[in-house]
Structures are given as C-alpha cells and as structure tokens.
Amino acid sequence: MLTHFQYKPLFSNEKLPGWQFSFYFKKQKFTGFYHPTGEIEWTGSVFPDNQDDEVLKKQLHELMLFHVYE
C-alpha cells in the first residue's frame, strides 16, 4: 500500500494536463510524472522493481482518477 500520496499540476496554468506525484511504498519515496494519456514516467533515484511496478501503476491510476478526474 502506498502512503503519503501527493500530486500537483506540472504547469502554472492548471488547465494544461500533467501532474507531478510522490508517495512512499515499502519505506522508499517514489516520484514521477502522470501524463494526460495515463502514462507514468518515474523520476528520482528509486524505481519500482518489476514485481511492484504493475501494482503501483494500478494504485496510482485509481488515485489520479479519484483526485483529478472526479
């Protein structure tokens, strides 16, 4: 389960799509960009391993749908 989820728009004009996000998972901080197409671009020094990648992407999609596209 991911915790301390945060997001903010990439652009000062909030009508332009794209968001920066961060959260903690297994005591590690993950950061990235969520593109309007649903593509996730991981940034930072920590990347999810293959086993956790799909789980995290699914949870992140659900959170973004709830917060951004409600």
Closest CA to 23 of 52, 12, 38, 51: 52
Q: CB-based contacts of 28: which residues, under 8 Å, 6+ apart?
A: 46
- For the stretch 22-40, pLDDT in tens is 999 999 999 999 998 999 9
CB 19 within 8 A of CB 9: yes
Whole-structure pTM value: 0.85
**Residue appearing with tokens 């968001």:** 19
d(Cα 69, Cα 56) in Å, to the nearest integer? 19
- For the stretch 1-27, pLDDT in tens is 889 999 999 888 767 788 999 999 999
